[in-house]
Structure 1
Amino acid sequence: MADPATHLASEAETAGDTDVTSRIRDAILQGEFAPHQRLIEADLSERFLASRATVRSALMHLVSEGLVERLPNKGARVRSISVDEAIEIVEVRVGLESLCARKAAERVTDAEADELRQIRDDMTQAVAQGNLLEYSRLNQLMDARLRQISGHATASVLLERLRAQSARHQFRLAFHPGRATESAPEHAAIIDAVIAHDGDAAEAATRQHLCGIATLLRAMT
Structure 2
Amino acid sequence: MDSSEYDDVAEPGRGSQTRQDQAYEGLRSLLLSGSIEPDTRLTEADLTRMFNVSRSTMRAVLVRLVQEGFVTSEVNRGVRTRSFTVEEALDILEARETLESALAGKAAERATDEEIDALRRILDEMVDCKARGDQAAYSQCNRRFHQQVKEAAHQQTLARAYDTLLYPLVMRQYRNLSARHPRGGSLEEHQAILMAIVTRNPDAAVAAMRHHVASARRALLLQARESTPAAKTDQETT
Give the TM-score category using the shorter length.
Answer: 0.7 to 0.9
* Distance in 2 of aligned mates of 1:195 and 1:7: 50
Number of residue equivalences: 215
Q: Distance in 1 between matches of 2:37 and 2:26?
A: 15
- 1:132–1:174: 8 Å Cα contact kept in structure 2? no
Match in the other structure for 2:190: 187
Runs of 4+ aligned structure 1 residues displaced above 6 Å come to 6-9
Query: Matched residues in 2 for 1:15 and 1:124: separation?
Result: 43
CA, structure 1 residues 207+156, in 2 after alignment: closer, same or farther (shift >3 Å)? same
Q: Measured at CA, do residues 110 and 27 of structure 1 come closer, stay the same or move farther in structure 2, by a change above 3 Å?
A: closer
Q: How does 1:29-108 map to 2 (within 5 A)?
A: 29=32, 32-72=35-75, 75-108=78-111
| 3-state SS in 1 of match to 2:72 | strand
Q: Could you tell me whether the CA contact under 8 Å between 1:28 and 1:34 is conserved in 2?
A: no
Which residue matches 1:171?
A: 175
**Residue of structure 2 in register with 1:205 after alignment:** 208
Distance 1:151 1:212 in 2: 26
Say which structure, 1 or 2, has more relative contact order (CA 8 Å, 6+ apart): 1
For the Cα contact (< 8 Å) 2:33–2:168, is it kept in 1?
no
Residues 1:123 and 1:199: Cα distance change in structure 2 (over 3 Å) = same
* TM value normalised by structure 2: 0.79
Q: Identity, % of aligned pairs?
A: 34
Amino acid in the other structure paired with 1:159 = Y
Distance 1:44 1:117 in 2: 39
Which residue of the partner structure matches residue 147 of structure 1?
A: 150
RMSD of aligned alpha carbons: 2.6
Residue 110 of structure 1: how far off its partner (Å): 1.7
The runs of 5 or more residues in structure 2 that have no matched partner are 226-238
Q: Which runs of 5+ in 1 are unaligned?
A: 1-5
Shift in Å, 1:14: 3.5
Q: Pick the structure with more helix per residue.
A: 1
Structure 1 SS opposite 2:84:
coil
